[in-house]
Amino acid sequence: MTATATWLPMSADTALACSTSPDLFFAESPQDVARAKELCAGCPVRAACLADALDRGEPWGVWGGELFLNGVVVPGKRARGRPRKSELAA
């Protein structure tokens, strides 16, 4: 698999949210993950970030406004604790 980098011209005074608070994009709490996704919404490199993360098969974190868990984009993160009632115990 080849990673392709897509670069957009940015001015020196442009700071991406992921570079100012990177820990937020790998947070455990659903609230922090939601905040990271919100910060991605207005990012000028959002589409390129998501495409590159998909190409690389990122294992986890928020990339391009999407949450990756085990290399798959998932809609949201659940808090730790008991499983959903609809899931059957093995």
Distances (CA, A) of 3 to 18, 50, 65: 20, 12, 19
Asked whether the predicted pLDDT for residue 2 surpasses 50, the reply is no
- 15, 37 in Cβ contact below 8 A? no
pLDDT at 83 over 60: yes
pTM of this prediction exceeds 0.75: no
**Which pLDDT belongs to residue 36?**
93
Q: Could you report the per-residue pLDDT of 4-39, keeping only the tens digit for each? A: 444 444 444 557 878 888 899 999 889 999 999 999
**pLDDT grade, residue 61 (50/70/90)?**
very high
What is the model's pLDDT at position 65?
Answer: 94
Of all residues in the chain, the percent with pLDDT exceeding 90 is 46
| Cβ atoms 17, 40 nearer than 8 A | yes
**Mean pLDDT, the chain, integer:** 79
